[in-house]
Amino acid sequence: MRVRERLPVEVWVLVAASFIIAVGFGLVAPVLPVFAKSFGVGNTAVAALVSSFAFVRLAFAPMSGKLVNRFGEPHVYIVGILIVAVGTALSGFSSSYGEMLAWRALAGIGSTMFTVAALGLLIRITPAPMRGRASGMWAAGFLIGNVAGPIIGAGLVPFGLWVPFVAYGVMLCLAAFVVWFFLRRSTLAALDRSNVDTPMTVREAWRHRSYRAALASGFANGWAVFGVRISLVSVFVIEGLRSSAAMAGISMSVFAAGNAAMLFLSGKVADTWGRKPVAIIGLVVSGVATIWMGFTTDVWMFMAASLVAGMGAGLLNPPQNAVVADVIGARGKGGPVLAAFQMVTDLGAIIGPLCTGLVADAFGFEASFAITGAALLLSVGVWLIAPETLPTHEEEHTAAAVAPECGCLDESAEVPTGERVGGKPRHPEA
């Protein structure tokens, strides 16, 4: 008899860690430009400080994929978080702009390590037909943490600009401890040392039309969410709609609220109806709403468009991540494939702000929002020709099956996500 479906406990550990990490990031994000300005640099240098983090993530992503395949996701995840903790905390004690830039670059290395590792671990420990839900919960942890972080950070600033940086470092250490403590005896999370399959290469994954669709939408989503929402929304609200900076901030929160509202629903629907239809709907909603944002004439209409755009982004993310997981599938070793997906998203986040800024200066805000929405809509075409990847049956996880045999963990340790059948732990849904 089939029992009620439940996500593995390990997934909830990753969700909790993502929330802690995002809260810490929210502490630093508002004060980072202010701290950089205290060294007497201009706006270009401040922008370079923000961009350097993304550039380092992009450059180090391939190495992160190799590290995941070599040492396993939990180890790379924890080490990556600790690297970000050191880089961020020391940034708060920087005595010059150059020193701060170097510490931020170090943090970028750790960031791509734990991001690629987290996605890989999420794929490996989640039952295949539940990957959409797991992805949605994981993304929601980050989103909710990003909303709470700036509120807490505002209360820390009076104690000194360095305080949020140190507080973020402490929270990252807490997240690393949570992951280590709860996964140290996990059979699911253990590195599968008996799996002698060659890791899936990016070239192999590229042959899958579904993977190409995920790359296309990942690039467009990185462009839209990080290009428009971060670099253009505030300027448009203040200069285009003649409103205040406070309203610009509220519009970002409205986008986040729409995103969060859909993440929980999207993952479940993607595991029921399929990845493809939910991703296409998300892209269409997000693309049309993004174009609408550029043609709004008052702040309240802009708020409505932001809410719808956020809902579209929330619909897209879980099925998009689930498709990457489905492509890797039972191989279990897909570090480079995950890294490539992360790189393409980061590339969109880097190119987006540059393009939207140039187009806005040359042709106006309407054109800038329009090309961003068009990028989202164009990726729909790639999804239309991609096959559905939703598994039709439960898959057993290789790591769970072999861990007791390889001696990676204590066989007497309790398996929190299932029961032992024939000496091998299985998910209760299997």
Distance CA 373, CA 314 (A): 15
- Give the confidence band of 402 by pLDDT, cuts at 50, 70, 90: very low
Task: Assign residue 360 the CATH number of its domain.
Answer: 1.20.1250.20
Same domain, 235 and 106: no
Residue 31's pLDDT is what?
75
Domain co-membership, 35 together with 72: yes
- How confident is the model over 334-358, as a mean pLDDT? 82
Number of domains in the chain: 2
How many C-beta atoms surround the C-beta of residue 284 within 10 A?
A: 17
pTM exceeding the 0.85 threshold for the entire prediction: no
Are both 79 and 100 inside the same structural domain? yes
Tens digit of pLDDT for each residue in 77-130? 999 999 999 998 998 898 888 898 899 889 889 988 888 888 888 877 777 778
| Whether 308 and 209 share a structural domain | yes
| pLDDT mean over 172-201 | 75
Q: What is the dihedral of CA 187, 324, 346, 93, to 10 degrees?
A: -10
Instruction: For the chain, state the CA radius of gyration.
Output: 21
Mean pLDDT in the chain? 79
Q: Clarify whether residues 170 and 220 are in a common domain.
A: no
What is the pLDDT at residue 395?
A: 45
Residue 342 Cα to chain centre, angstroms? 8
The answer on 129 and 43 residing in a single domain is yes
Is the pLDDT at 37 greater than 50, yes or no?
A: yes
What residue numbers bound the domain in which 415 lies? Answer: 1-191+396-430
CA torsion 367-371-376-377 (nearest 10°) is 90
Is residue 419 scored above 70 in pLDDT?
no
pLDDT recorded at residue 420 = 34
Contact 258, 250 (CB under 8 A): no
In this structure, how many other beta carbons lie within 10 angstroms of the beta carbon of residue 95?
Answer: 8
Report the pLDDT value the prediction gives residue 406, as an integer from 0 to 100.
Answer: 35
Looking at the domain assignment, is residue 391 inside a domain?
A: no
Determine the Cα–Cα distance for residues 404 and 412; give it in Å rounded to an integer.
9
Q: Which has the higher per-residue pLDDT, 312 or 123?
A: 312
Identify whether the C-beta of residue 336 lies closer than 8 Å to the C-beta of residue 69.
yes
Q: Is the pLDDT assigned to residue 34 strictly greater than 50?
A: yes
72 phi-psi bin (left φ>0, alpha ψ -120 to 50, beta other): left
Query: What pLDDT is stored for residue 428 in this prediction?
Result: 33
Q: Are residues 136 and 212 in the same domain?
A: no
| Confidence band of 217 (pLDDT split at 50, 70, 90) | very high
Better-scored residue on pLDDT, 280 or 244: 280
User: Is there a domain that residue 236 lies in?
Assistant: yes
Percent of the chain with pLDDT over 90: 24
Total residue length of the chain: 430
Find all residues with CB under 8 Å of 43, minimum gap 6, and list them: none
Q: Are residues 302 and 406 in the same domain?
A: no
Q: 421 CB contacts (<8 Å, ≥6 apart)?
A: none
What is the spatial distance between Cα 87 and Cα 81, in angstroms, rounded to a whole number? Answer: 10
pLDDT value at 311 more than 90: yes
Q: Do 245 and 382 have their domain in common? A: yes
Do residues 257 and 170 share a domain? no
- Does any domain span residue 17? yes
Same-domain pairing of 29 and 85: yes
Please return the burial class of 185, using the count of CB atoms within 10 Å of its CB with bins 0-12, 13-18 and 19+. Answer: middle
Asked if residue 332 has pLDDT above 60, the reply is: no
**Shared-domain flag, residues 21 and 169:** yes
DSSP class of 157: G
Residue at a domain's end among 386, 405, 420: 386
Q: In the numeric block, which tokens belong to residue 208?
A: 């899958």
**Are the C-beta atoms of residues 342 and 112 closer than 8 Å to each other?**
yes
| Choice among 150-154, 174-178, 295-299 with the minimum mean pLDDT | 150-154
Say if residues 346 and 57 touch (Cβ distance below 8 Å).
yes
The residue ranking higher by pLDDT, 244 or 173, is 173
The answer to whether residue 23 is domain-embedded is yes
* Assigned domain for 350 exists: yes
pLDDT for 361 beyond 60:
yes
